[in-house]
Amino acid sequence: MNRSFAPTAPYQFDHAVLPVTSLELARERYEAMGFTVAPDAVHPFGTENACVFFADDTYLEPLAVAQREDCEETARKGNVFTASDQAYRFRIGEDGFSAIALKTEDADGDHQRFRKLGISAGRKLRFGRAFVDGQGKKAKASFKLCFAKDDRAPDITLFTCQRINVPVVDRSSLTNHANGVSGIKEIVLSEQNPSDFQYFLQPVVNNRDTPSGSFGMEIETANTNFNVLTPEGLRMEFGVERSMDGRGLCCEGIVMTIADKQMLKKALEAGSVAYRDTGRYWVVDAVQGQGAFLAFDVSGA
């Protein structure tokens, strides 16, 4: 651990964790929207994913339960990842948007910072798993995770992710999508009074600048924007209703960057995927297997 490590710039967004009922259903749904979905990968603690990778080095992680007994056992033993996933599925359901990951160079240092600030969710997690590229080449990837949580928002977990071993594989075929999506532009969250959570989000993102307006506040990572909206703001900007009643920060949706509006239209129509045109966004509402609503920013395409 580098005890002198002190982050000086906002962290980069890494990926969104999307609990789903099954990877088969998630794969069917994302492919219908024109996404290329990576081969299934199994975690050593009972979960599995089928990721959607992008050219901007971000990704979506549809997450399913592979072995419930392993998930439950590791959660009881202090695995924050499986414990949070189990709690989310119990409280919210088998489909949703439960966690946000940011890139870090020092998960150990983050863990110490989070503990000092009183936002640590528990023990760090280090693990490895097999990775298979688009040509079927296998390699071993390993990670170290550090978790943050706010007890007022039990249905969202934030964590920093340090890539310990990065496999040398060609992932280009996995980042080429028929719908023309090149990356993730914005993460949409909601809360009745967004500013109540600024002191939770700021140290995790490592950005103290949180401009606010009548419908929420924003906090920028190094590569994306976190847009925390009131229920009214969520309705006005995306035509979406808040996914939960009462108070508490929760994840709602993901704004995608696209290269060509016609590519997107062709892919959505080919997959018989309904969308709403808000002017700036084409919004695909969350359904089973999708987790969150997706908003494709067509304003510059």
Which ranges of 104-230 does DSSP label H, i.e. alpha helix?
A: 107-117, 198-205
Please say which residue of 150, 175, 200 terminates a domain: 175
Q: 163 and 36 in one domain? A: yes
**Overall average pLDDT of the 20-25 stretch:** 97
Q: How high is the pLDDT of residue 300?
A: 83
284 in a domain, yes or no? Answer: yes
Q: Half-sphere exposure of 295 toward its Cβ, with a 13 Å CA cutoff?
A: 22
Token pair recorded at residue 14: 């890494």
pLDDT: which is higher, 111 or 171: 111
Q: Are 149 and 222 in the same domain? A: no
What is the structure's pLDDT at 8?
74
Q: Is residue 254 domain-resident?
A: yes
Instruction: Using the 3D structure, point to which of 140, 175, 210 is the last residue of a domain.
Output: 175
CATH number at residue 78: 3.10.180.10
pLDDT digits 0-9 by tens, 237-265: 999 999 988 899 999 999 999 989 999 99
Taking only the tens place, the pLDDT of each residue in 280-289 is 999 999 999 9
Range of the domain at 151: 13-175
Domain assignment present for 112: yes
**What is the residue-wise DSSP string for 5-35?**
----SPPPEEEEEEE-S-HHHHHHHHHHTT-
Q: Which residues pair with 213 in a beta bridge?
A: 216
Average pLDDT over residues 27-42: 96
CA dihedral 13, 15, 18, 24 (to 10 degrees): 160
Q: Give the Cα separation of 92 and 94 in Å (integer).
A: 7
Where is pLDDT greater, at 57 or 134? Answer: 57
Q: Is residue 87 part of a domain?
A: yes
Collect all residues with Cβ–Cβ distance below 8 Å to 195 and sequence separation of at least 6.
210, 212, 217
Domain for residue 85, yes or no?
A: yes
Instruction: Give the residue from 21, 57, 55, 61 showing the smallest Cα distance to 41.
Output: 61
Lowest mean pLDDT among 8-12, 164-168, 204-208: 164-168
**Residue where the block lists tokens 């084409």:** 282
pLDDT at 41 exceeding the cut of 60? yes
| 4 falls within a domain | no
Mean pLDDT of the chain: 93
Q: What is the rounded average pLDDT of the residues 168-173?
A: 79
Strand partners, 59: 15, 53
Beta bridge partners of 157: 99
Give the range among 3-7, 24-28, 105-109, 205-209 with minimum mean pLDDT.
3-7
Radius of gyration in angstroms for the set of CA atoms belonging to the chain, rounded to a whole number: 18
pLDDT reported for residue 2:
47
Average pLDDT over residues 93-114: 96
Task: Quote the number of domains for the chain.
Answer: 2
Instruction: State the greatest distance between any 2 C-alpha atoms of the chain, in Å, as a whole number.
Output: 53
Residue 4's pLDDT band (cuts 50, 70, 90): very low
- The domain boundary, picked from 155, 175, 195, lies at 175
pTM: 0.93
Structure token pair of residue 122: 């528990």
Residue at 195 is within a domain: yes
Q: Is the pLDDT of residue 136 over 70?
A: no
* One domain for residues 23 and 165: yes
The encoded tokens of residue 141 equal 């990837």
**Is residue 1's pLDDT more than 50?**
no
Least confident piece of the model among 51-60, 165-174, 205-214: 165-174
Please, are residues 188 and 238 in contact by the beta-carbon 8 Å criterion?
A: yes
